[in-house]
Amino acid sequence: MPEIVHKSLVKARKSSSPTVAPSGGWLFVRRARLKVTKEALICGDWEIPYSEIEEAVLRSYPFLWTKSYLLRLRAKDAQYEFGISPSKFWKREIPFPIKRENSGAAGWVGNIIRIALAIFLSVTPPFVGIPILIYWIYLCIR
- Residue 43's DSSP bridge partners are 34, 46
Q: What pLDDT shows up at residue 140?
A: 60
- CATH (domain of 97): 2.30.29
Contacts of residue 13, defined as CB under 8 A and 6 or more positions apart, other chains included, come to: 20, 25, 26, 28, 29, 30, 80, 81
Pair (95, 127) in one structural domain = no
Question: Could you tell me how many residues make up the chain?
Answer: 142
Pair (121, 96) in one structural domain = no
Pair (60, 16) in one structural domain = yes
Q: What pLDDT shows up at residue 76?
A: 87
**What domain count does the chain have?**
2
Pair (128, 73) in one structural domain = no
Pair (50, 17) in one structural domain = yes
- The pTM score is 0.68
Over its length of 142 residues, how does the chain's per-residue pLDDT go in tens digits?
678 999 989 999 987 665 555 555 666 788 999 999 999 999 999 999 999 999 999 988 776 566 778 899 999 888 999 998 878 888 888 888 999 888 765 556 666 776 777 777 777 776 677 777 777 676 666 5
Pair (128, 58) in one structural domain = no
Pair (33, 77) in one structural domain = yes
Pair (99, 113) in one structural domain = no
Pair (21, 80) in one structural domain = yes
Pair (62, 114) in one structural domain = no
**Residue 119 is part of which domain span?**
109-141
Pair (37, 79) in one structural domain = yes
Q: Is 87 exposed, middle or buried (0-12, 13-18, 19+ CB in 10 A)?
A: middle
Closest CA to 80 of 39, 107, 44: 44
Are 12 and 80 in contact by the 8 Å Cβ rule? The answer is yes
Measured distance CA(22)–CA(12) in Å, rounded: 13
Q: What pLDDT shows up at residue 60?
A: 84
